[in-house]
Structure 1
Amino acid sequence: MHKVEDLKIWQKAIQLAKTVYLLTAELPLDEKYELTSQIKRSATSISSNIAEGAGRNSQKEFKHFLNIANGSSYELYTQLILLSELNLTDKNKVQPIIELCIEIQKMNYSFQKKIN
């Protein structure tokens, strides 16, 4: 069992979710229940699944939830690209969030290898 607050990947995922929420607050209102909702769910799913896995009783279960978190990070990555491609927000605002998302993906991959 891991103390979730001590996990750097969880800390980064929380930072990512907060940044995503700030970005989506600036999106057009007509996207509120469409892409915005999807983006928020993906972003919160990453940290939530890391936390749930950390609270499980085995490394196998933890790895399973890290896999789910990784899937959510790729989902979020795709949605952020769409925001940019659809010109719903400034590309300069999205790019640092995409980079943080990629960093978390790399951390997740490394962490999964470590807990094997």
Structure 2
Amino acid sequence: MIDYRKYLVWQKSHQLVLDMYRVTATFPKSEQFNLISQINRACLSIPTNIAEGCGRETQKELIRFLYISSGFAHELEYLLLVSKDLNFINGDTYIKLNSEVNEIKKMLASLIRKVAQTVNR
């Protein structure tokens, strides 16, 4: 088992969760069970799947959960775009959050490659 808190990608995705919850708290209440719920679920699933993968017994299982985490990062990227297009977030907030999501996606891809190299040895 690996301590997920040591991974920089987990730390950044955890901070993104905190940031996103603050941002979605400003959304219209009519979106409580729609977009807010979807964004928070997708965002929370990124570090959650990293943590779950680190608790698994094999590196292959870790890779699988890192891919799941990456999928949620891609989903969140789209949900941010929708939020911007619906004027729930302003352009500056969108740029900042989207940049954070893209950095996390790149970090996940790099970690997947690194872990896969150890599996294929």
* Fold in common (TM above 0.5): yes
What residue in structure 2 maps to residue 84 of structure 1?
84
| Cα distance, 1:2 vs structure 2 | 1.4
Give the deviation of 1:87 after TM superposition.
Answer: 1.1
Instruction: Quote the RMSD (CA, aligned, Å).
Output: 0.7
Report the count of equivalent residues.
116
Report which stretch shifted further, 96-105 or 1-10: 1-10
Matches for 1:2-41 after TM superposition, within 5 Å: 2-41=2-41
Structure 1 residue runs of 4 or more that deviate by more than 3 Å after TM superposition = none
Deviations 1:3-33 (A, max 9, x none): 1111111001101111100000011111111
Using the TM superposition, give the Cα deviation of residue 50 of structure 1 relative to its aligned residue in structure 2, in angstroms: 0.3
Partner residue in 1 for 2:56: 56
Give the aligned residue type for 1:54. C
Question: Identity, % of aligned pairs?
Answer: 37
Whole-angstrom CA distance in 1 between matches of 2:37 and 2:73: 15
With normalisation by structure 1, the TM-score equals 0.97
Q: Which has the larger radius of gyration?
A: 2
Alignment correspondent of 1:67? 67
CA distance in 2: counterparts of 1:88 and 1:23, whole angstroms: 9
How far does the alpha carbon of each residue in 1:20-72 deviate from its partner, in whole angstroms, 9 at most, with x for none?
Answer: 00000011111111101000000000000000001111100000000000000
Per the normalisation by structure 2, the TM-score is 0.93
Gaps of 5+ in 1: none
Name the counterpart of 1:98.
98
Stretches of structure 2 that go unaligned for 5 or more consecutive residues are 117-121
